Structure 1
Amino acid sequence: MKKILLVVMILLSWAFVAEAQDVGKQISNLVDAYAQLGKFNGSILVAAKGKVLLNKGYGFKDVKEKTVNDANTVYQIASVTKTFTSTLVLKLVEMEKIALTDNVAKFYPGFPQGDSITIAQLLSHTSGISDDSSADRVKNQPDSTEELFIATLKARKLDFSPGTDWKYSNSGYILLGYIIERVLGMTYYEAIRTYIFQPLQMNASAFDFVGLASPDKATGYWAFPESDTVRPATLIDYRAPRAAGAIYSTTGDLYTWHRGLQTGKLISLSLLDKAYTPVRNQYGLGWIIDSVGTSRVVSHSGDIWGFKSELTRVPADDICIIQLNNIEDVDLRSITRKILAILYHQPYQLPARNEIQLSQPALREYEGDYLLRPGEWIKVRVENARLMATTNRKQELYAQRNGVFKIDDGYDQIVVTFHKGASGKVTELSFTIGGNKIICKKRVGTPE
């Protein structure tokens, strides 16, 4: 009987390894396709059930120096920092140094409506604290003090009554960082090191990216660096975003972060479950909440000048997807969705690409404004030798053949056809969604 059980276990192990290899190959092919299109330039790690399926770098770390990204490249992770701030706050809750129901007035007496704004609301972006232009000016000043920051918040009206609505607030997280400092008597940065980085041995993670002198440091770019003359993006000092976005890290360290959360090494799994529970607008306590099949997906993205990041986890299935890019103009969410589709054996598509190459004059034939519905236009323009369509967001049109293009939104690929009139000029475009053909007439007087 024992021999039979041993054989069964070996067969199951072989089956898992074979499946993991196949899944890893599919994921690698997918990311390769995005990288070849200039839509991924960074490092990625994908793991499931403790097995790393992909851990690789793509593209240039520094295009001028011709260095390339790898698994050790260091990037700014921007708002993925919020998952660390949230976990540290929950750690203080577990230590009974703070409560989620504590209000801002407890730490800052006289703060407007401070007795109505709770720690939980700051974590879930339901506090009403605004990120208006005056706040942006303050938080983008590295030498801004706690006193100046609080004075700025006090002088500004809330976006809504606390707890009644949702609006993303970097200022709310910066405020959480200052509250952490008051509770612990140490800087926010010291606190993250003490309670998270050091226990998990996240030795490649810290804060001062501007001052980092390391051959692994990535240079940030606004868009894919197509030549060595492209100018790098301006770096933002870590003391500007503070607890809302100060951390730099690697894919390896962020996987260590995932493992630490999975095992309850930092805080209890029951507290994490509270963080993973939506409050409003699919946002919990420092995490964006979604699902794949019947499993809960928790994630956070980051976006700062020259860098984009995304950390996605499925705690119940021990899945972790980490994407760090040193270009800002990328759609990492589409890649995440397709990787999840591969992992859960769901259909997915490789990214659309140009099947033919059209000259800039040829692309300009399609420029114009096309009526989608009363008062709403699809604006088609040529930008950097690419044909772009803009409604509430901007998407690229990929040439399949003359007059026929594809839009890839990460879920589906929609075929867009441009039609010409008797004069030989484009007069309308059409596409089909859900079996319904949509015809959009071109506005008279827009580019032909």
Structure 2
Amino acid sequence: MKKISMRILMAALVIVLFISCGKTQIPEGLSMNEWTGAYLEQTVKEKKMKGGISAMIYKEGEILFSSGSGWADSSTGWIVDGRTPMPVGSISKIFTSVALMTLVEEGRVNLDDPVGTYLPRLKLEGGREMDVTVRDLLTHHSGIPGDLFADWFDKPIDHIYELMNGRPLMAEPGTLFSYANTGFTLLGLIIEEVTGLSFESYVGQAVFGPAEMEHSYVHSADAALAGERLPAGYFRKSEIPVPKLRDYPAGGFIVPADDMGKFIRALYRDHSLVSRETLSLMLTPQNEANPVDRDFNIGLGFWLIDPMGTGELMASHGGDLPPYHALLVTLPEKELAVFVASNDNGSGGTIAMEAGLAIAKELVSRENLGDNRINPSETVALSEEDMAPYEGLYGTMAGLIELKPGHGYMKMKLGNIPLVLRKLESGYYSAELRPLNLFTIPVPQLAGLQIDLYEAEGKPWLGLWMHGVYMGAGSMLEPVAYGDEYRKLVGDYADPQGTNILADGSYVISGISIAEKSGRYVMRVTLLGQKIEMALRPDGEGRAVTDGAGRGMGDLVLYRFNDEGNPVLSWSGFELKR
């Protein structure tokens, strides 16, 4: 899932993506199709991929290219091509959005109705399900906990009630973009409640059928029932099968490149899924009045971003379900689309994103769409007055980030990594690894990272962008007072077992501890191999929340002490023992 991936998206040096478009050298004079085929072959070779990669290019009703390179399953000699069904991670959210919008068109769902009117089994703390709207879920502005990692696999979607009921909101609805896979799980449940059908059945009826997507599935169990062969996933040193997520409306779909082209044609040209008017609404920014979101625009299901600076409306979504990764980039007004998917977690899971943007960049260049970006290399000096308001600790989806003034630049610490921030003419900041400010060490992961420092709603914020893709914003943390019991929480906690274990034997969540840092009590976790720090803020007796704003922030952490006096934590559906 996007960005568990986050990648999840899944962020700077921890969860952000490294994209270096154009590194592969392709001979000149090739057609777009020839260039794309050569690019895929060289990508498989240069990245030393154990798996493979597929791609689709669509233009004005025609699928110009749909093929692939590398292995779908090396043990059987199965080669990736345009018919290979690939898990697409969070691109699933676009299909779920379209399915829901068919019900909006029919008047069976109202975007501004409270979620609780459709889901009587949902019982948030304080009855807050009546304050969250369907639109809030579609735009990731609901304030509900974004991820509940316990029981992540092989559970029905209605299991989410057991994990979510009784939980508080992490933020006020409508006030903050906070990526939420669980929100799309709830949308899937709304579809089931309104139609009386299973989510799988309704998507087949409303999306797959009209678009003639004959080899697409909502999840791996659905594909198995149809007798569909699925590609192996190459993760670390293991070869693993496609998992079935509990949150499959958010990240479980499986779609070959051929079918993705059919979907784009049905959506953008034939209008056989939703009307022109409904599509226009889906492609209209829903959050322009939100001061915290700043320059980030999101529609209904689509992220409305322009990572290549074309000046054109660009509607896109990425997807990550390691080791499966995908990217869909579309220019609706030009009726262009590029889709790339991979079953290989190499290069930190960035191969599909890198390839997708490289192909899209080549296509945009051939279509003579310009690059309107300000030169990102031009920097401006910072005064102490510029920097002083932003000195402090921020809670973000990338973990804790600390900012301090330097000499004409900001010093940033992400975890234990010291960085230098330099202000660009665009108003954003670039990040460099520059020890003692003497020389710069090239770090590919920082190539497209930009930081946005700004004030909104009376406090400082730090926004994260990667190659034009918005990763979310975090607020400066305010001082808090801790009770004496927090000292007793310090220490290492055992890794949760059961559904926390991936197919290769590794853990979704591991390395859990609580420590003191910068005057705060901090919870440290390793999520799918990525280390993240989250400050704790007391929230009443026996409870705290992860302090900050955005994905994973504001999440509830309960604690108690057993008969032996040892602490026990409850977080994200897990019970954690020291």
TM-score by length of 1: 0.68
* Structure 1 unmatched runs, 5+: 1-18, 224-229, 349-370, 381-390, 395-403, 414-448
Return the match for 2:42 from 33, 38, 63.
33
Give the Å deviation of 1:71: 1.7
Aligned residues: 344
Return the match for 1:266 from 270, 273, 288.
273
1:39-438 map, 5 Å: 41-109=52-120, 111=124, 112-132=127-147, 135-138=148-151, 140-144=152-156, 146=158, 148-210=159-221, 212=224, 216-222=229-235, 230-233=237-240, 235-238=242-245, 240-263=246-269, 264-280=271-287, 281-291=296-306, 292-328=309-345, 329-345=349-365, 373=411, 375=413, 408=444
CA contact (8 A) 1:219 1:232 kept: yes
Q: Given residue 323 of structure 1, which amino acid in structure 2 is its aligned partner?
A: V
Query: Identity over the aligned pairs, expressed in percent?
Result: 22
Secondary structure (helix, strand or coil) at the match of 1:59 reads strand
CA contact (8 A) 2:210 2:266 kept: no
CA contact (8 A) 2:230 2:242 kept: no
Q: For residues 66-105 of structure 1, give each alpha carbon's deviation from its aligned partner in whole angstroms, at most 9, with x where no partner exists.
A: 3221121111122111101101111101011111111112
For 1:52 and 1:194, how far apart are their aligned partners in 2? 23
CA contact (8 A) 1:334 1:411 kept: no
For 1:343 and 1:261, how far apart are their aligned partners in 2? 21
Q: For residues 221-257 of structure 1, give each alpha carbon's deviation from its aligned partner in whole angstroms, at most 9, with x where no partner exists.
A: 125xxxxxx421353214x122112221100011100
Distance 1:235 1:338, change over 3 A: closer
Q: For residues 129-164 of structure 1, give each alpha carbon's deviation from its aligned partner in whole angstroms, at most 9, with x where no partner exists.
A: 1134xx2214x1423462x42243222111100001
TM-score by length of 2: 0.54
Q: For residues 5-39 of structure 1, give each alpha carbon's deviation from its aligned partner in whole angstroms, at most 9, with x where no partner exists.
A: xxxxxxxxxxxxxx996333333343333222127
CA contact (8 A) 1:72 1:216 kept: no
Q: CA RMSD in A?
A: 3.4
Distance 1:374 1:70, change over 3 A: closer
CA contact (8 A) 2:136 2:174 kept: yes
Give the Å deviation of 1:166: 1.0
For 1:347 and 1:27, how far apart are their aligned partners in 2? 21
Distance 1:93 1:51, change over 3 A: closer
Secondary structure (helix, strand or coil) at the match of 1:221 reads strand
For 1:339 and 1:410, how far apart are their aligned partners in 2? 21
More displaced 10-residue stretch of structure 1: 106-115 or 323-332 = 106-115
Q: Given residue 355 of structure 2, which amino acid in structure 1 is its aligned partner?
A: I
Q: Given residue 56 of structure 2, which amino acid in structure 1 is its aligned partner?
A: L
**What's the counterpart of residue 567 of structure 2?**
none
CA contact (8 A) 1:39 1:330 kept: no
Distance 1:181 1:269, change over 3 A: same
Q: Given residue 173 of structure 1, which amino acid in structure 2 is its aligned partner?
A: F
Distance 1:128 1:324, change over 3 A: same
Give the Å deviation of 1:312: 1.5
**What's the counterpart of residue 401 of structure 1?**
none
